[in-house]
Amino acid sequence: MAPTRRDFLKRSGFATASMMVPSFLKASIPILPGDVRPKVFVVIQFTGGNDGLNCIVPIGNDIYYKSRPNIGYKKEELIRLSDDIGMNASLQGLADLFYDGNVVLINNVGYPNPNRSHFRSMDIWQTASDEDTYLQTGWIGRLLDHHCTTGNCVMPHYAVEIDDSLSLALKGSTISGFAVRNPDQLKNVNTNPFLDHVARHYTGGSHVHNNVEYLHKLLTDTTNSTDYIFEQSKKYTTAVPYPANEFGNQLKTIANLINAETNTSVYYVSLSGFDTHALQRNQQERQLKIYADGLKAFVTDLKNTGKFKDTLIMTFSEFGRRVEENAGKGTDHGTANNVYLIGGGLKQGGMINEMPDLSKLVDDDLVYQTDFRHIYATILDKWLQVDAKTILGNDFKPMDFL
Amino acid sequence: MPAPQKHVQHLYLRAGFGETPMVIKQKMAYDINKLVDDLFNDAKQYRNLTYLEDPTRGKEVSNLRVLLLFLKSPEQMRSLNNAWMDMMASTKAVLREKMTLFWHDHFATSTQFAWLMQVQNNTLRKHALGKFDKMLHAVAKDPAMIIYLNNQQNKKDAPNENFAREVMELFTLGEGNVYTEKDIKEAARAFTGWTVNKKGDFEFVAKEHDDGEKTFLGRTGNFNGEEIINILLEEKGTARYVTRKIYKEFVNEEVDEARVDALSAVFFDSGYDISKLMRAIFTAEWFYSEENMGSLVASPVDLITRFRRMIKMEFKEDKAQLNLQKVLGQTLFFPPNVAGWPGGRNWVDSSTLLLRMQIPTRIIKGGGFDIKPKPEFEDAPEDEIALRTSKKANVQSDWSALVNHFKKFPKEELIPQVLEAFIQSPKNHIDQSLIETYVDNSSDEKRVLSTIGIVMSLPEFQLI
């Protein structure tokens, strides 16, 4: 019988995973001066174009009710954030955190010359490109690249996406992030013991082909990240109940990894179902509830273990939706949207800019006020401690929420 | 002079999708130049994609009908995707399909109109080995391209620059080469009135066209769209940009600029004859050098097609083949944007490399692929749940011909022979005694099959 993978670990002097950890710490993420351990950044992507105007609602705005006679929310249906601002009742979990001062709401976030194609607009958000530029790397991917060029090369698991495949956001030019749906499946990943051996014993040979070296390095990095994330996922199991749906499970996976003090700086997860062209209310409410209930459990979990102060969560979507409802009691693709930032390290919770001005639309759509890259720049500079310009190319002035 | 095995394999991997060791053995009796001739001759015997019938039947359709076409489109797109994958897996005209795939990436287009995508695909196939100038003129008037790059909205009173920009940036000169923002604006004026009518055909609408004077790349005249394209074709930069892209795709991502200069002169002087350019590449001595053979990361479509041709791999459901493409990062008819697929090393990351390497053993074990692509933007939550809980993507395959071929070799020659057949990059670092430790020796059959499986699982197998 062929030796198992674990046999190899022992035989090859690779030892057990717990013995591996210190070398990983040394080899990967630099511990910054003044930091006990690195901060964690979690991205929650709403896929399909979430209707922000029905999430944060301008109560008593005539244009809103005139534009949305069927799908507009009445005052009494909403959670009151202030006299003239309401929150969708399905976002109760987010509202609770808002009252605790753990949420920053930013309105009218977008970019110049908005693109109304899901694909293109999502690429723009994930690559942080200009509207007319096509980048092949994501902004998180370039963060991984940056660590390599500054001599602190990180492992793929520096940025983990909870999914079977990797989003463009996490793809760099020299190194990309690590995708895993369920860490339990990782133990079966290298079912071919021969490959496992190859991954651990490549010494280099051919210098004719850079791509041979590249694939072997990628395989070795991947195998190491696979081992590491699998071992980390066994270290901590939460007692906090999460909603029994896939998104809840994904957030639970992230929380377990954070609570196991995993050497991962960025986590990425998506929730889809927001392309509400018809009968929007039910569908959007269902997705918002999945989001907010999962989020509430996640934050409770991290608060219990004291990790929340080092965690920042950003929620965005590729665009908002048209102000006026369509004939199918839904909404079509729009432009500017709101972004939610949730964390224990925010300067001060609250809504930090004006609600959209529904009397000043362009092509029937909201006008953006804040370029999303200012939010990215803030997170890069003030949370992940990286010079944002090296990642974003241009100077985007950091904002004040951190 | 009979061609070396590795050279023959190289030619068929680059000019096609790879051939079985049995086919390679037959080809080895011939000279490389004769094999190149055969590839070009075989490319003449091609079929179009005929999966869809013209839904308009050549008549004007109402908007409602357009809407219906649109709603049916996701299934049609899936079937069209499979029809092309099947064509690549079964055709003798491999060079034509390989070139069509290249142009599909070069003129990257994505619309929801399955019929128009089929029309465009057949246009690319028709010109794939013909004249680039004719192809460029045809693509500029291609309905799917016009819709994709918003030329429907390009009108005299409100020009839309999208097509004008991309025709220079991506299709001819390359970004920032010679042209200016002003040239884009002027070119956009020349393309005003180029639109798609209700039959789904190209139509020039004279009253939307700006026939005033334009200054483009230093010339002044009342240029129309065709004239703008001709001016672009007169620029040697166009020949060089396209040649360089072909070199990166067919020869090596690390570009030898002097060679590209020479090739692009051949291309330009021949009046943009694509066959002449490709023949110059495939018959060049340097094409078969160690630094070029096995240097490219196979694209997902290359990889899947290679398996289909090698072991008659068949997917039991259309959706399974589409999902595999999605998860590996290349879905035909769905390029990520107008710039096409990034390609090269971008094809692999930690998750796709592991999946690629597991494909052979998963097929051998009959386990299929338990892969879950990301949901579509338009999916309702119910669709997503259905997608996520869908069964494994099962495949059928037939390894018997391969096993019989390699069974004929003496035991000690098996591993070197299998490596020679499937690994194109240098093999000096591959530890053959290690492979031997993992071979299943319980029967002759299993010994051969497991050896093939192990070799196809090597990272080097991903390089063609």
Interface test with A, best of B350, B385, B457, B460 (most A CBs within 10 A): B350
Q: Is pLDDT of A33 > 60?
A: no
CB atoms within 10 A of CB A13: 6
**Distance (Å) of CA B360 to CA B4, B435, B453:** 27, 15, 6
CB proximity B286 to A under 8 Å = no
- The pLDDT score that the predictor gives to residue B337 is 86
Mean per-residue pLDDT, A2-11: 36
Q: Is pLDDT of B382 > 70?
A: no
| Nearest residue of chain A to residue B439 (CA atoms) | A2
| Residues 6+ away with beta carbon under 8 Å from A10 | none
CB proximity B106 to A under 8 Å = no
pLDDT band for position A252 (cuts 50, 70, 90): very high
Virtual torsion, Cα A343, A348, A354, A356, nearest 10 deg = 10
A98-128 pLDDT per residue, tens = 999 999 999 999 999 999 888 889 999 999 9
Mean per-residue pLDDT, B208-234: 97
pLDDT band for position B393 (cuts 50, 70, 90): low
How many residues are given for chain A? 402
Report d(CA B366, CA B370) in Å as an integer. Answer: 12
Mean per-residue pLDDT, A236-240: 94
Smallest Cα distance from B345 to chain A, Å: 8
Q: Is pLDDT of A371 > 70?
A: yes
Report d(CA A119, CA A97) in Å as an integer. Answer: 32
Share of residues in chain A with pLDDT > 70 (%): 88
B427-448 pLDDT per residue, tens = 888 888 888 998 999 999 999 9
Mean per-residue pLDDT, B225-242: 98
Q: Is pLDDT of B296 > 90?
A: yes
- Are the beta carbons of B373 and A209 separated by less than 8 Å? no
CB proximity B458 to A under 8 Å = yes
- CB-CB: which of A171, A181, A204 is closest to B349? A171
- The pLDDT score that the predictor gives to residue B386 is 52
pLDDT band for position A18 (cuts 50, 70, 90): very low
pLDDT band for position A32 (cuts 50, 70, 90): very low
- The pLDDT score that the predictor gives to residue B59 is 81
CB proximity A370 to B under 8 Å = no
Cβ B18 vs Cβ B309: under 8 Å = yes
Looking at chain B, the number of H-run helices and the number of E-run strands are 22, 6
Q: Let me know if A315 is exposed, middle or buried by CB neighbors in 10 A (0-12, 13-18, 19+).
A: buried
Q: Let me know if B412 is exposed, middle or buried by CB neighbors in 10 A (0-12, 13-18, 19+).
A: exposed
Mean per-residue pLDDT, B104-120: 93
- List chain A residues with CB under 8 Å of B435: 194
CB proximity A202 to B under 8 Å = yes
- Are the beta carbons of B342 and A189 separated by less than 8 Å? no
Q: Is pLDDT of B451 > 70?
A: yes
Report d(CA B329, CA B352) in Å as an integer. Answer: 8
Q: What DSSP string describes A302-315? A: HHHTT-GGGEEEEE
- The pLDDT score that the predictor gives to residue B325 is 93
What tokens appear for A230 in the block? Answer: 């699998």
- CB-CB: which of B380, B381, B463 is closest to A211? B463
A218-232 pLDDT per residue, tens = 998 888 898 899 999
- The pLDDT score that the predictor gives to residue A383 is 96
- The pLDDT score that the predictor gives to residue B53 is 85
Q: Is pLDDT of A243 > 70?
A: yes
- The pLDDT score that the predictor gives to residue B89 is 96
For B:153-192, CB contacts with A below 8 A are 165
Smallest Cα distance from A165 to chain B, Å: 6
- List chain A residues with CB under 8 Å of B460: 212, 215
- The pLDDT score that the predictor gives to residue B54 is 84
Cβ A391 vs Cβ A146: under 8 Å = yes
- List chain B residues with CB under 8 Å of A212: 425-426, 429, 459-460, 463
Give A200 or B392, the one with higher predicted confidence.
Answer: A200
Mean per-residue pLDDT, B203-213: 96
- The pLDDT score that the predictor gives to residue B361 is 82
Interface test with B, best of A187, A194, A289 (most B CBs within 10 A): A194
CA B19 to chain centre: 17
Report d(CA A53, CA A335) in Å as an integer. Answer: 11
- The pLDDT score that the predictor gives to residue A304 is 96
- CB-CB: which of A166, A203, A287 is closest to B349? A166
Smallest Cα distance from B271 to chain A, Å: 31
- The pLDDT score that the predictor gives to residue B112 is 80
Q: Is pLDDT of B3 > 70?
A: yes
- The pLDDT score that the predictor gives to residue B369 is 67
- CB-CB: which of B254, B346, B459 is closest to A215? B459
Interface test with A, best of B288, B295, B351, B438 (most A CBs within 10 A): B351
Q: Is pLDDT of A35 > 90?
A: no
- Are the beta carbons of A218 and B349 separated by less than 8 Å? yes
Mean per-residue pLDDT, A234-253: 95
CB proximity A326 to B under 8 Å = no
Q: Is pLDDT of B378 > 80?
A: no
Q: Is pLDDT of A15 > 60?
A: no
- List chain A residues with CB under 8 Å of B169: none
Report d(CA B74, CA B100) in Å as an integer. Answer: 22
Q: What DSSP string describes B271-335? A: TSBHHHHHHHHHT-GGGGSTTTTT-SBPPHHHHHHHHHHHH--EESSHHHHHHHHHHHT--TT--
- Are the beta carbons of A165 and B373 separated by less than 8 Å? yes
pLDDT band for position B418 (cuts 50, 70, 90): very high
Mean per-residue pLDDT, B34-40: 98
Q: Is pLDDT of A328 > 90?
A: no
For B:396-435, CB contacts with A below 8 A are 425-426, 428-429, 434-435
pLDDT band for position A388 (cuts 50, 70, 90): very high
Q: Is pLDDT of A24 > 70?
A: no
- The pLDDT score that the predictor gives to residue A198 is 80
CB atoms within 10 A of CB B193: 20
Give A268 or A184, the one with higher predicted confidence.
Answer: A268
- CB-CB: which of A168, A194, A273 is closest to B384? A273
Q: What is the residue-averaged pLDDT of chain B? A: 91
At which residue do the structure tokens 């041979």 appear? A212
Q: Is pLDDT of A26 > 70?
A: no
Share of residues in chain B with pLDDT > 90 (%): 72
Give B389 or B350, the one with higher predicted confidence.
Answer: B350
Q: Is pLDDT of A23 > 60?
A: no
Smallest Cα distance from A267 to chain B, Å: 16
- List chain A residues with CB under 8 Å of B329: 165
CB proximity A121 to B under 8 Å = no
- The pLDDT score that the predictor gives to residue A36 is 45
Mean per-residue pLDDT, A349-371: 95
- The pLDDT score that the predictor gives to residue B245 is 98
Q: Is pLDDT of A34 > 70?
A: no
A133-165 pLDDT per residue, tens = 889 999 999 999 999 888 888 899 999 999 988
pLDDT band for position B234 (cuts 50, 70, 90): very high
Q: Is pLDDT of A11 > 90?
A: no
Helix axes B414-422, B5-14, angle to 10 degrees: 40
Nearest alpha carbon to residue B319 among B392, B397, B396, B398: B392
Q: Is pLDDT of B387 > 60?
A: no
B319-334 pLDDT per residue, tens = 888 888 998 999 999 9
Report d(CA A93, CA A108) in Å as an integer. Answer: 22
What is the predicted ipTM? 0.91
- The pLDDT score that the predictor gives to residue A3 is 39
- CB-CB: which of B338, B350, B373 is closest to A218? B350
- The pLDDT score that the predictor gives to residue B71 is 64
- Determine phi and psi for A161, rounding to 5 degrees: -105, 130
Report d(CA A349, CA A294) in Å as an integer. Answer: 20
What tokens appear for A79 in the block? Answer: 């959670």
Domains and CATH numbers, chain A: 41-189+233-392 (3.40.720)
Nearest alpha carbon to residue B183 among B210, B213, B214: B214
For B:318-377, CB contacts with A below 8 A are 326-327, 329, 336-339, 342, 345-346, 348-354, 357-358, 361, 371-377
Beta strands A85-87; B202-204: pairing state:
unpaired
Least confident of A15-29, A58-72, B122-136, B340-354: A15-29
- The pLDDT score that the predictor gives to residue A2 is 41
- CB-CB: which of B348, B352, B377 is closest to A48? B377
Nearest alpha carbon to residue A358 among A323, A321, A320: A323
- CB-CB: which of A202, A203, A246 is closest to B388? A246
Q: Is pLDDT of B384 > 60?
A: no
- CB-CB: which of B351, B353, B429 is closest to A205? B429
- Are the beta carbons of A218 and B358 separated by less than 8 Å? no
Mean per-residue pLDDT, A371-388: 97
- Are the beta carbons of B329 and A204 separated by less than 8 Å? no
For A:276-315, CB contacts with B below 8 A are 283, 286-287
- The pLDDT score that the predictor gives to residue A398 is 96
- The pLDDT score that the predictor gives to residue A63 is 97
Q: What DSSP string describes A63-95? A: HHHHH-TTTPPPGGGSEESSSSEEE-GGGHHHH
pTM of the shown model: 0.86
- The pLDDT score that the predictor gives to residue B373 is 77
